[in-house]
Structure 1
Amino acid sequence: MADSSAPWHARDQAEALLTLGSCEEGLSPAEAGVRLERYGENRLDREEAPGPGAIIIRQFRSTLVAVLIAAAVFSLIIGETVDAVAILIIVLMNAAFGAAQEWQAEKAMEALRRMLGLQAVVVRGGAETGIDAAAVVPGDIVVLDTGMKVPADLRLISATSLQVDEAPLTGESVPVGKAVLPLPEETPLMERANMAYMGTAVVNGRGRGVAVATGMATEFGRIAGLSRTVRDIETPLARRLAVLSTRIGQIALFVAAAVVLAGLLQGRGAYELVLIGVSLAVAVIPEGLPAVVTLTLAIGVRAMLRRNCLIRHLPASETLGAVSVIGTDKTGTLTKNEMTVTAIALPGRDIRVSGTGYAPMGGFFVGERAVDPAEVPGLSAFLRAAVICSHASLTPDGGIIGSPTEGALVVAAAKAGIGRDGLPGIEEELSFSSARKRMTVIVGKGERRIAYMKGGPEIVLARCTAVLADGAARSLDTETLEVLAAGVEGMAGEGLRVIAAAYRPFDDGEDPEEGLVYLGAAGIQDPPREEAREAVERARKAGINVIMITGDASLTAAAVGRAVGLGQGEALTGADIDGMDDTSLLAALKSANILARVTAEHKLRVIGLLTGDGHIVAMTGDGVNDAPALKKAHVGIAMGVKGTDVAREASDIVLVDDNFASIVAGVEEGRREADNIAKFTRYLLSSNVGEIVAVAGGLVVGLPLVLLPAQILWVNLVTDGATALVLGVEPAERGIMRRPPADPGAEILSSRAMTAVLLIGGWIGAVVLLIFALLQEADLDRARTLAFTGFVVFELINVFNFRSFSSTLREIGPFSNRYLVAAVAGSLALQVAAVYHPILQAAFRTVPLSVGDWALLVLISLPLLAAGEGWKWAVKRREKSG
């Protein structure tokens, strides 16, 4: 084979074929087999989806779970088998819930996966052959036609009206016209018109190319490999729970050691002290916390799915609620991904076109006045020319076949009642290419034929000598040319893609592409989603900075940005980013909301700077070029409709409807989950503080053990299980989307929250200890049963204090969370069984209580609820005044 250091796009076709040892007749089947052995199958390496075992093991990677397992092992060593088994059951239930949810997410991902291209057509031994795309090898001649996926990186050797959608690779929303001539070496990826890349799609025309790279050697493969070098970022929830778990473990050891030391000084027996130490360790550790967190997140997964967010990893939903920056794609996320003609500039008249998408519904307006297109001079002629000079067609279900740009023109014509029926067919075609920037078709036979041209306005106008004005052709003078050019610039400045059309009758021997009559130009846009502007505004009110990051042109990006409320300034381009150091770029990102013409490397750099500056970043994407950024961001959000497999597999969340508004809805749901996790965490800890105060306090003053280890575990199971869980389904707090994102460095327990936890827990513990101290000499079993039941009653009342951090029960309604009411009733019923059922009486060493005993406990608990309501009222009053 010949050798060359020049990149493939800089070589001519003959050199590319020679270098690859191929020819236009293709490889022989035998040679193709040899190369398949040498280069391997044409597949992207995929990270294997975790199996059931790996998913289960992942559930145990938690400091708190480790602390619980240690407590269970120690309980088993000292003979407290019931405690050990109960703790291990909780741990296993937590793992089962988490594993089941992640397994369901993986199964949902499998349902969303689509192969990049299952079949390819190649030339082997001079004959076209259909093969599995995995069998394509370097040197194969690949045949391309409309609707096909490009199976490998190709150097094109022929192209007829060939247009390729390269959005999955470059982010460019407009199909790219292809040609075959060599290009300068410095030509950027998105401008290499003589190349076709793996994973992109042919939307128009046909062509052939020689495969220059397959599998992981392709551009898709390079970027997919880049994503594997990116490490996952620890989520805020994981970090906060790890800190909390470490501190709980330290406190458990400290309290247990201190009590054992105090007991030794009092002369108590070693076995009794070890038993007390284990009891206190169990009291300190909120056994139910991992399970409740997992279940709350699992419930949130279903709520997220209702908002069109498929959660792949449980903590992602809570992390989404903490984001301070959303980097969003443009096409299909902020826009509809449906090219639409919105304006037509005829010589001497501007027309506005209503209706969006590919359904031929809408009208034509001059100013605010609706007009009949047949009565507007020149409009029908322009639309007929647009249909004749295209290969797109409408489908019965409201879609298009062919180029989206041509489809937009065909739809606009259909709105005027103009279709292909009755129009002349194409006899000859001079195809569009990136070098020509125009397409010309010739209709008619015989000596007198007509040429129709469409393309860039500057290209078309340069070949026109007349304009069609008021139904008649007249000479194109300098003044008219300037007016037409100004109109085109105005549409381009609004971010519209402008396509001009012209025609000319010509005789044999005349150049069909010179001396044309200018008909007009259409302004085409991908219209913003109606809900996008409102969603951007909601995000801003929530303190979230939204940055559009796209591979599209800066004018288009800026126009869409203005339409959805992302500012009035110009877009910051990839070239601008390359010219900035990190300090300058970070400063620019504080005000720049639109980034255009960016690459995968640019996205990684931007995310790295933002996360390094303390932001929690969510990033959306659909193409393989987005995969590294999706993986690097705290929350990677892939598109479920138009996203690639590589993007979805790198993501934490898959957006079912590709809609930016769904991301903002997901943020609200994530904030609700974060609030509720904080609520039940503080509730659990306040309960445990009460247990520590009662047990440790009793030991210090020389009383018998207030609660037995089994009773402590039962209290935690009864009060920390269902009641804590239903706090996780509390509705969102008022104004949840009118407050800034949570500080990523903040802990679950702020100083104010810790004060409330200590005060409430201390009150519960002191009251229980007082009851026990007053009654234990007369009847130890009754005193311990009252203390045991008192904890349950007080904590079930206490749960209502944690339903909201800011609103009183009167404001939110005491019975508005019917699940909580049911959980409290159920937990109380279990405690009644523990007091009166003979088997449970034996297990927990309880005795029956009188009606008066129950009434006393309820009466004593009421001040606890009143104190909580008073605290909220005082805090709200202080915030309003201050």
Structure 2
Amino acid sequence: MIHTNLSGMLFFMVGCFLWIQLVGKKVTTMEKKEAVNYKFFAQTSVDKLFSTFKTSLSGINNNEAEVLRDEYGENVISHKKKTPFIVEVLKAYFTPFTTVLLALAIISFITDYVIVPTDERDLTGVLIIVAMVVLSGTMTLIQSVKSNNAAEKLSNMVKVTATVLRKGEEVELPIEEIVCGDIIKLSAGDMLPADVRLIRTKDLFVSQAAMTGESYPVEKKDTFSMSQKDAETDYENIAFMGSNVVSGSAIGLVIAVGNGTLFGQIAKDVSEKHTITSFDVGISKTSWLLIRFMMVMAPTVFLINGLTKGDWLEAFLFGLSVAVGLTPEMLPMIVTTNLVKGASTMAKKGTIIKNLNSIQNFGAIDVLCTDKTGTLTQDKIILEYHLDVDGKEDDRVLRHAFFNSYYQTGLKNLMDKAIIESAEEELNMNVNAYKKVDEIPFDFQRRRMSVVIEDAFGKTQMITKGAVEEMLEVSSYVDYRGSVVPLTEDIKSTILKTVDELNEDGLRVIAVAQKTNPSVVGEFSVKDESDMVLIGYLAFLDPPKETTKDALKALKEHGVGVKVLTGDNALVTKSVCKQVGLEDEELITGTEISRMNDVELKVIAEKFNIFVKLTPSQKTRLVRVLREAGHTVGFMGDGINDAPAMKEADVGISVDTAVDIAKESADVILLEKDLMVLERGILAGRTTFGNIMKYVKMTASSNFGNMFSVVVASIFLPFLPMLPLQLLFLNLIYDISCMSIPWDNMDDEYLEEPKKWDATRIGSFMKWLGPTSSVFDITTYALMYFVICPAVVGGSYHTLGAEQQALFIAVFHAGWFVESLWSQTLVIHTLRTPKLPFIQSRASFILTTITSIGIAIGSFLPFTAFGQDLGLMPLPGEYWGYLALTIVAYLMLVMVIKKIYVKRFGELL
């Protein structure tokens, strides 16, 4: 009968796994799409493709979108789908620790129920072990579900959208709602939401690093060349999901979505995995260390007790109970609870964690690299001046700048918006009097952009605006004192001097130039930006945030060095940095960096904090050398030029108003673009990490100490120091107490420095603080064996009869049970802080309450019928005085050893 039950249980478990596999295969089959024939889409005419998808250049309507969604599938990659609930259940209940416990439960079931006489059958031990598994698994499951729901909820707060034409109207849709047949518009900063056949392009450059690993952007066009015969990604008129627009603009037809895209196929083949952090490695190493420790300890105790007591079955059961006691089955629950609680806390403080595993790295940041605009400054750019080259206000400069900003189709930045707002307020602009002929989009190498407009009389003008130095390169003439004259070196020096004066006042300056009736063959391109007439410049004010100075000070106090990595020029950056407390800092330019090798750059990156006139690749390079130097680097940015550096950093940080590619590259999203919010998030990350370390180190040291106690007791006592059931119940109470650790406080001093997982410290913590409990376990043995128990039963153990010996053992067990519970529970309060517990540092109300209840239940247990069923007996009054002395002495010794440990190793947790 018993074998049938065990077999049935095994068949049920195997059946569950097979059912999950079948469900997984069914889902895969349902989602599987026929491979996309990219050559067909590249070669086929646009009109024929429109006919295939029953669409047009104006797009589809919502009803047609639903039909196409049913036919071609949803724009969702399967690896991002929610894990089936049954899988979550199995992951929660079948961890390495609970698997060990379940194996022990089966063994206990056989030894306590199957192979013993009917009148001696007892399932209490099995039930306690199963209760531990259920408790650990249920709490882990609850927190996992909370984690998934929280991640989904937070993810919904950070939507990546695309501009779609639906029956001629431009609408912003979440990328999940895009279907095959949609017409989408692309501009700099956009992510490709699906695989797209390009219909119209204008100087379109796309980064395909996610697909091909290519470092440099590739140009995409709306034409197909028959010479193309290499990889699918080589088709010039096909852009792929997962890539992003670096510069230029385009209109495209969606030809594949979700799993049907090339990105979806790669994701299915490669199976996206999260980066293994030092935190993951540390948890894994600690888990297996404790399991190996248990596998050595339990057989050792079994052999010692078997040899010294002669009762091999009892010794086996005790060894089994020791194995259960040494299994940290609450570790998965503690870790998951801490991460979920940390993410929830950080969300309330304006910080969204996209990946829970990034919390530890977030708290470990010791170098924060940040752009200047919007982080140090208010990100509210105001157009202060529109000046001619003489430095006088000139509406003509503003008018030309307005046409450039208004007609461009790329990503309008804050300066474009400030120009448009100022022109609409100050000038009577009539955009209907002009039409746009062409444009040359912005890119980060040229640092300028141009538009070509035509008036009602057929007169055309190319208007270009951009960084002053780059504009001087393409200008041959200047509108100087009322007439157009060649741009001489003297005039250039005068212009640069005026610009420098504005920069020193903290103003950002860009130049404006124009060319009338430019001649062009075919489309306008970068080479047409030449021989232009410089007409003036625009000066913008982006004042520092009021909180920036305090935030930088707070970050420094918490061990985080801030480095400013900006594309802006030296004078503006220096002015802003001076206002926020970064004065007397030497500036390093991108030009200087370009001449350095990595060894030289590593020295410079360590020594200096402000880097100006950087290209995106130089930002990435700086982040890389800082990481190679051993720093945990966070990079905060919001623009397309920041995305590569964010991917390179340990923690990419962005804001919910950032461009798509920046949000996609980030691990952390700030709901406020403020360094003070970031500082609060870093502290929350350190708190989460600290509470995990409390449980890991306490459990490891407690287990190590118990080894000495049990081995000594097994050698010298004529009976087991504690019955298997008593040991199991003791462990259950302790586990419940530990469940409150995620809600504990952390000392302010702990939060001052970045924290990294160092698995080697676990071993040293075990060796130093573990044996302290053994000292007082042994004194308790002696006290109970030679003083308390003889006083209760009226004689020493060997002089008593069998009945009195049983009473002697029951009192002994009760004494060690209560002392063990008090010591291992109160030491939580001692080891949670390097300070004086209860006085200098107090645990949270939840931790204090739960541990107090646990101690109360354990102390009262010997006086109850249930306790006596467990083999415990009421303790005499004098025991409690000895107990108080023992606990006080134990905690004092722990504090002494703790101070020595901190002095030697630098930190406790």
Among candidates 822, 826, 833, match of residue 853 of structure 2: 826
Look up the equivalent residue of 1:484 and give its one-letter code.
I
Among candidates 511, 536, 543, match of residue 499 of structure 1: 511
Alignment of 1:249-260 (within 5 A): 249-260=291-302
1:600-636 superposed Cα distances (whole Å, 9 cap, x missing partner): 9x96x98888777765555667789999987887656
Look up the equivalent residue of 1:675 and give its one-letter code.
G
Partner of residue 667, structure 1 = 682
Given that 2:744 and 2:846 are in contact with CA atoms closer than 8 Å, whether structure 1 keeps it comes out as no
CA–CA distance in structure 2, aligned partners of residues 427 and 442 of structure 1 = 5
CA–CA distance in structure 1, aligned partners of residues 462 and 629 of structure 2 = 56
Partner of residue 320, structure 2 = 278
Partner of residue 355, structure 1 = none
Deviation at 1:277, TM superposition (A): 1.1
Structure 1 window deviating more from structure 2 (60-69 vs 263-272): it is 60-69
SS at match of 1:455: strand
Among candidates 86, 107, 123, match of residue 53 of structure 1: 86
Tell me the C-alpha RMSD between the 2 structures. 5.9
Check 1:473–1:737 CA distance in 2 against 1; reply closer, same or farther (3 A cut). Answer: farther
Deviation at 1:755, TM superposition (A): 0.9
Partner of residue 20, structure 1 = 43
Please tell me whether residue 99 in structure 1 is matched to residue 109 in structure 2: no
Structure with the larger helix share: 2
Deviation at 1:523, TM superposition (A): 3.5
Among candidates 710, 727, 735, match of residue 749 of structure 2: 735
Given that 1:248 and 1:284 are in contact with CA atoms closer than 8 Å, whether structure 2 keeps it comes out as yes
Deviation at 1:33, TM superposition (A): 9.0
Look up the equivalent residue of 1:775 and give its one-letter code.
I
CA–CA distance in structure 1, aligned partners of residues 674 and 390 of structure 2 = 39
1:378-423 superposed Cα distances (whole Å, 9 cap, x missing partner): 2556546645665389xxxxxx996643212234557xxx345587
Partner of residue 510, structure 1 = none
Given that 1:347 and 1:519 are in contact with CA atoms closer than 8 Å, whether structure 2 keeps it comes out as yes
CA–CA distance in structure 1, aligned partners of residues 101 and 336 of structure 2 = 15
Q: Which runs of 5+ in 1 are unaligned?
A: 1-15, 124-130, 171-176, 186-191, 350-376, 394-399, 506-512
Please tell me whether residue 483 in structure 1 is matched to residue 494 in structure 2: yes
TM-score (norm 1): 0.70
Partner of residue 25, structure 2 = none
Given that 1:496 and 1:524 are in contact with CA atoms closer than 8 Å, whether structure 2 keeps it comes out as yes
Check 1:338–1:872 CA distance in 2 against 1; reply closer, same or farther (3 A cut). Answer: same
Deviation at 1:522, TM superposition (A): 1.0
Deviation at 1:247, TM superposition (A): 2.6
CA–CA distance in structure 2, aligned partners of residues 105 and 798 of structure 1 = 33
Partner of residue 571, structure 1 = 590
Alignment of 1:179-190 (within 5 A): none
Deviation at 1:85, TM superposition (A): 1.6
Please tell me whether residue 864 in structure 1 is matched to residue 874 in structure 2: no
Check 1:178–1:549 CA distance in 2 against 1; reply closer, same or farther (3 A cut). Answer: farther
Given that 1:574 and 1:599 are in contact with CA atoms closer than 8 Å, whether structure 2 keeps it comes out as no
Partner of residue 10, structure 1 = none
Deviation at 1:804, TM superposition (A): 0.7
Look up the equivalent residue of 1:520 and give its one-letter code.
G
Deviation at 1:515, TM superposition (A): 12
Check 1:714–1:336 CA distance in 2 against 1; reply closer, same or farther (3 A cut). Answer: farther
CA–CA distance in structure 2, aligned partners of residues 482 and 193 of structure 1 = 44
SS at match of 1:569: strand
Check 1:235–1:282 CA distance in 2 against 1; reply closer, same or farther (3 A cut). Answer: same
CA–CA distance in structure 2, aligned partners of residues 879 and 401 of structure 1 = 52
Please tell me whether residue 433 in structure 1 is matched to residue 445 in structure 2: no
Check 1:647–1:225 CA distance in 2 against 1; reply closer, same or farther (3 A cut). Answer: farther
Among candidates 537, 559, 573, match of residue 521 of structure 1: 537
CA–CA distance in structure 2, aligned partners of residues 574 and 609 of structure 1 = 12
CA–CA distance in structure 1, aligned partners of residues 237 and 614 of structure 2 = 23
Check 1:461–1:321 CA distance in 2 against 1; reply closer, same or farther (3 A cut). Answer: closer
SS at match of 2:538: strand
CA–CA distance in structure 2, aligned partners of residues 342 and 381 of structure 1 = 15
Please tell me whether residue 86 in structure 1 is matched to residue 125 in structure 2: no
Deviation at 1:92, TM superposition (A): 1.4
Check 1:90–1:703 CA distance in 2 against 1; reply closer, same or farther (3 A cut). Answer: farther
Check 1:677–1:475 CA distance in 2 against 1; reply closer, same or farther (3 A cut). Answer: closer
CA–CA distance in structure 2, aligned partners of residues 627 and 51 of structure 1 = 33
SS at match of 2:79: coil
Among candidates 867, 870, 874, match of residue 844 of structure 1: 870
CA–CA distance in structure 2, aligned partners of residues 218 and 597 of structure 1 = 35
Look up the equivalent residue of 1:846 and give its one-letter code.
L
SS at match of 1:808: coil
* Count, aligned residues: 777
CA–CA distance in structure 2, aligned partners of residues 146 and 643 of structure 1 = 9
Among candidates 826, 840, 844, match of residue 812 of structure 1: 840
Look up the equivalent residue of 2:829 and give its one-letter code.
F
Deviation at 1:219, TM superposition (A): 12
Given that 1:318 and 1:671 are in contact with CA atoms closer than 8 Å, whether structure 2 keeps it comes out as yes
Given that 1:322 and 1:741 are in contact with CA atoms closer than 8 Å, whether structure 2 keeps it comes out as yes
Deviation at 1:271, TM superposition (A): 0.8
Given that 1:638 and 1:651 are in contact with CA atoms closer than 8 Å, whether structure 2 keeps it comes out as yes
Deviation at 1:498, TM superposition (A): 0.7
Alignment of 1:133-144 (within 5 A): 133-136=178-181
Q: Which runs of 5+ in 2 are unaligned?
A: 1-38, 57-67, 113-124, 169-175, 212-218, 229-234, 443-447, 518-528, 794-806
CA–CA distance in structure 2, aligned partners of residues 663 and 22 of structure 1 = 50
Among candidates 233, 258, 264, match of residue 306 of structure 2: 264
Look up the equivalent residue of 2:837 and give its one-letter code.
L
CA–CA distance in structure 1, aligned partners of residues 624 and 190 of structure 2 = 36
CA–CA distance in structure 1, aligned partners of residues 84 and 868 of structure 2 = 44
CA–CA distance in structure 2, aligned partners of residues 784 and 676 of structure 1 = 32
CA–CA distance in structure 2, aligned partners of residues 811 and 521 of structure 1 = 64
Check 1:273–1:647 CA distance in 2 against 1; reply closer, same or farther (3 A cut). Answer: same
Given that 1:153 and 1:219 are in contact with CA atoms closer than 8 Å, whether structure 2 keeps it comes out as no
CA–CA distance in structure 2, aligned partners of residues 473 and 659 of structure 1 = 47
Alignment of 1:719-730 (within 5 A): 719-722=734-737, 724-730=738-744
Structure 1 window deviating more from structure 2 (564-573 vs 273-282): it is 564-573
The percent identity for this pair of structures is: 18
Partner of residue 372, structure 1 = none
CA–CA distance in structure 1, aligned partners of residues 153 and 165 of structure 2 = 28
Given that 1:75 and 1:84 are in contact with CA atoms closer than 8 Å, whether structure 2 keeps it comes out as no
Deviation at 1:74, TM superposition (A): 3.4
SS at match of 1:703: coil
SS at match of 2:179: helix
Structure 1 window deviating more from structure 2 (680-689 vs 270-279): it is 680-689
